[in-house]
Structure 1
Amino acid sequence: MTTSKITYNLTESRKTKPDDKTLVFGRSFTDHMFIADYVKGSGWQNHRIVPYAPISLDPAAIVFHYGQTVFEGLKAYRAEDDSIRLFRPEENFRRLNRSLDRLCMPEIDTEDALAGLLELLRVEEGWVPHLEGTSLYIRPFVIATEAFLGVAPAASYQFYIILSPVGSYYEEGIHPVKILVENEYVRAVKGGTGGAKTAGNYASALKAQETASSRGYSQVMWLDGVEKKYVEEVGSMNIFFKIDGEIITPAINGSILEGITRKSIIELLAHWGTPVTERKISIDEVADAHAAGKLEEVFGTGTAAVISPVGELNWNDTVMVVNEGETGPVSKKLYETLTQIQTGEESDPLGWVTEVPSSLEKIS
């Protein structure tokens, strides 16, 4: 898609941008958003950049009643030379399409989506914060808009991209988190929607997260939904274990979200000559490794934090302290390398970065 297919309605009433030093996650939003409409039989159309504003929907819109909605999350980074960079955005739009397919929603054209995102960022480039550790969070999402109370896929949808400047995930640098292993509730089962990034998955996880938070744990580690035995993922990230020198992560099985950062970590470690084993791993195996002194590191991967080292696991009130509660060398090296690639401080050996055209340029 070329920018000639995008229409513009730019506001003259600009918001006051928040101070980079006081940014929090998901509370401030830019002046504009991108929207496209879908009508069954006609496809995606009416691509436009308009002022950020509330959405008007019929109370009977299918998204409210049957949960036809999917979303993505990625970031734009300000480099040292003041350029703006995206990290593997095409992977996010491919995953968005996998989620759309699972929920019987129309797939987007990934090239059109990327062109729309680049143009929105070109319009909103002043919103990308400058302070180290900050970024502009990008939330693409699709909702079913048809007004109909029958249980069936909708005939009309809207695709949005909204932007939010965010602060550093860690206020004082990377530090280990505490995780509670969940034994009562389950996140997903094979054949369900666990592999899709859809709102219902997150709503059903809130109860377990609430319990974990009340006990002083930042996140929940989910076990499989059948045997409650095998590790799957953590609330907002995929999980890795370093056991006796081997790095292991649960294999994608239909109920685990295919993380973009997860994929990047696996590829980066392979680039370094450090392979990752993708396989089933039980919580018993993790506990046995800890008891034997072989659980060397645990870390999560995701867009928000990039790398989250884990300093403590609690399973059935058995507390497993990992690496004396400190960040391990693999976690530290991965975090520093990936964040420096994202911001241009380090070369991009695997071709992951997309530069955003400046306001002086046009996207062809």
Structure 2
Amino acid sequence: MTTQKLEIMKCTHKKQKPESSALEFGKYFTDHMFIMDYSEEKGWYSPRIIPYQPLTLDPAAMVFHYGQTVFEGLKAYRSEDGSVRLFRPEENFKRLNQSSDRLSIPPIDEAQMLAYLKELIRIDKDWIPTMPGTSLYIRPFVIATEPTLGVAPSRNYKFMIILSPVGAYYKEGINPIGIFVEDQYTRAAPGGTGTAKTAGNYCAAYKAQERATANKQAQVLWLDGMEKKYVEEVGSMNVFFKLNGEVHTPGLSGSILEGITRKSVIELLKSWDIPVFERRISIEEIVSASKSGTLEEVFGTGTAAVISPVGELLWKDHKIVVNNNETGALSKRLYTELTGIQTGEQKDPFGWTVRLEDEE
């Protein structure tokens, strides 16, 4: 793909920025957005940064009818010295293309789109909150826009990026949550779209989340779609178990999302010489480990919370209390290290962060 000139149209009236202490997830949006179009004749064309605004789409746009859409989620962080950092953004654009391939959406130029994102952040960098634990959430996404009801991949698309300042995921620190083990509904099955970050995977989970809430649990732990026996992932997070000094996480079986925080945690654990294994893990094994005292910690990993410790698991008539419902030492260490790298408070020996000021 050839580099295309980025058109920039800045807004004339800027929004009132919310107080950092009042931030919620996904409620506020910055002054500008990025948009780019696709057609079979032109490929991806007309990259532009424009004032944040509503879209006008034909009612027959295919995204409304067949759900041909993918998205990503990453963050920009403001460091104490005022610099702005991104955490492994190249991995997000790589995964976006992997999701697009599964949904028959044409690929983007990953390096070029990252360059456009950096420019968007530079324009709206005053929106990045400065309070500890806050950040600027970044949502790149692609939607199918061809106006037809024919059941086939769209021939037209829009790629967009919107930005949203968000508060700390944990209002009172990193505290354990309760998890409901879902044994009725299925999130994904081998050969399906479980490895893609696509909209339908999330709304299909609402019913299971209702069951979790009714059982006074915060999130859902999905089991495999074939046997309802093997652990897969927690809501929008990957899951890890510390068993007798070792860390175990479900392998990438083709039905779970390949989390970037998951990948980072595995690499971090290996650098600390902590044994980590990617494999099939049955829920019965976790129940047995709890009874024998070898289940030491459980935690989820994801962009929103980074590390989310689990205090209890509810499966059928089994209520498994983990580490006396307290945050474990490893969970705390991982959270501190990862958030420190993301914000520049800790050294980054892996080269994970991208500092925008270094490229200006």
Contact 2:179 2:314 in 1 (8 A): yes
User: Aligned residue for 2:185?
Assistant: 185
Does the Cα contact within 8 Å between 1:137 and 1:163 map onto a contact in 2?
yes
Structure 2: how far apart are the matches of 1:275 and 1:303?
23
Q: Encode CA deviations 1:221-241: one digit per residue, 9 max, x unaligned.
A: 000000000000010100000
Q: CA deviation at 1:3?
A: 8.9
Query: What letter is aligned with 1:303?
Result: T
The match for 2:109 is: 109
Whether contact under 8 Å (1:62, 1:145) holds in the other structure is yes
Which residue in 1 is equivalent to 2:76? 76
In 1: Cα distance, 2:102 partner to 2:16 partner: 40
Matches within 5 A, 1:319-358: 319-357=319-357
Counterpart of 2:246 in structure 1 is 246
Identify the residue that residue 295 of structure 2 maps to in structure 1: 295
The structure 1 segments of at least 4 consecutive aligned residues displaced by more than 4 Å after TM superposition are 1-4
Partner of 2:89: 89
The reply to whether residue 274 of structure 1 matches residue 285 of structure 2 is: no
State the one-letter code of the partner of 2:15.
K
In structure 2, the residue corresponding to 1:357 is in which secondary structure?
A: helix
Deviations 1:41-82 (A, max 9, x none): 321110000011111100000000011000000000000100
Q: For residue 149 of structure 1, give the secondary structure of its aligned residue in structure 2.
A: coil
Deviation of residue 215 (structure 1)?
Answer: 2.0
Quote the residue 1:21 is aligned against: 21
**Identical counterparts, % of pairs:** 63
Displacement after TM superposition at 1:89 (Å): 0.3
Secondary structure of the residue aligned to 1:5 is coil
* Aligned-partner Cα distance in 1 for 2:2–2:118: 11
Cα deviations by residue, 1:235-263 (Å, 9 ceiling, x for unpaired): 01000001111100000011010000000
Which amino acid in the other structure matches residue 324 of structure 2?
Answer: E
Q: Tell me, yes or no, if structure 1 residue 257 matches structure 2 residue 250.
A: no
Q: Does 1:145 align with 2:145?
A: yes
SS for the counterpart of 2:116 is helix
Q: 1:214 Cα shift?
A: 2.2
Distance, in Å, in 1 between the alignment partners of 2:166 and 2:212 is 25
Match of 1:160 in 2: 160
Query: How far apart in 1 are the matches of 2:3 and 2:153?
Result: 31
For 1:210, the equivalent position in structure 2 comes to: 210
Q: Deviations over 1:264-291 (max 9, x none)?
A: 0000111111131000000000000001
**Partner of 1:236 in structure 2?**
236
Of residues 304-313 and 210-219 in structure 1, the stretch that sits farther from structure 2 once superposed is 210-219
For residues 171-192 of structure 1, what are the alpha-carbon distances to aligned partners after superposition, in whole Å with 9 as ceiling and x for unaligned?
0110100000001001000000
Question: Amino acid of the residue matched to residue 243 of structure 1?
Answer: L
Instruction: Report how many residues are paired.
Output: 360
1:4 Cα offset (Å): 7.0
Q: Look up the equivalent residue of 1:301 and give its one-letter code.
A: T
Q: In the aligned structure 2, how far is the partner of 1:255 from the partner of 1:113?
A: 27
CA–CA distance in 2 between the matches of 1:268 and 1:355? Answer: 20
Amino acid at match of 1:218: A
Q: Distance in 1 between matches of 2:299 and 2:81?
A: 31
Shift of 1:2: 10
CA contact (8 A) 1:3 1:115 kept: no
Residues 337-362 of structure 1 deviation map (CA, whole Å, 9 limit, x = unaligned): 0000000010000000001238xx75
Give the secondary-structure state (helix, strand or coil) at the position aligned to 2:190: coil
Q: Distance in 2 between matches of 1:52 and 1:217?
A: 36
Task: Answer whether contact 2:37 2:158 (CA < 8 A) is retained.
Answer: yes
Give the distance between the partners of 1:206 and 1:317, measured in 2 at CA.
22
Provide the C-alpha distance between the structure 2 equivalents of 1:168 and 1:354, rounded to a whole number of angstroms.
21
The residue that corresponds to 2:124 in the other structure is: 124
Equivalent pair of 2:4/2:47 in contact (CA under 8 Å)? no
> Is the Cα–Cα contact under 8 Å of residues 122 and 357 in structure 1 kept in the other structure?
no
* Aligned mates of 1:223, 1:272 — CA distance in 2: 30
User: Corresponding residue for 1:66?
Assistant: 66
* Residue equivalent to 1:219: 219
Partner Cα separation in structure 1 for residue 272 and residue 178 of structure 2:
28
In structure 1, the gaps of 5 or more residues are none
The 2-side partners of 1:273 and 1:184 are apart by 38
State the shift of 1:317 in Å.
2.8
Is 1:134–1:166's contact at 8 Å kept on the other side of the alignment? yes
2:37 alignment counterpart: 37
Q: Is the 8 A contact 1:2 1:115 kept in 2?
A: no
Q: Deviations over 1:199-223 (max 9, x none)?
A: 0000100111012112211100000
Change in CA separation of 1:2 and 1:106 when aligned onto 2, cut-off 3 Å: closer
* CA distance in 1 between partners of 2:349 and 2:271 (Å): 9
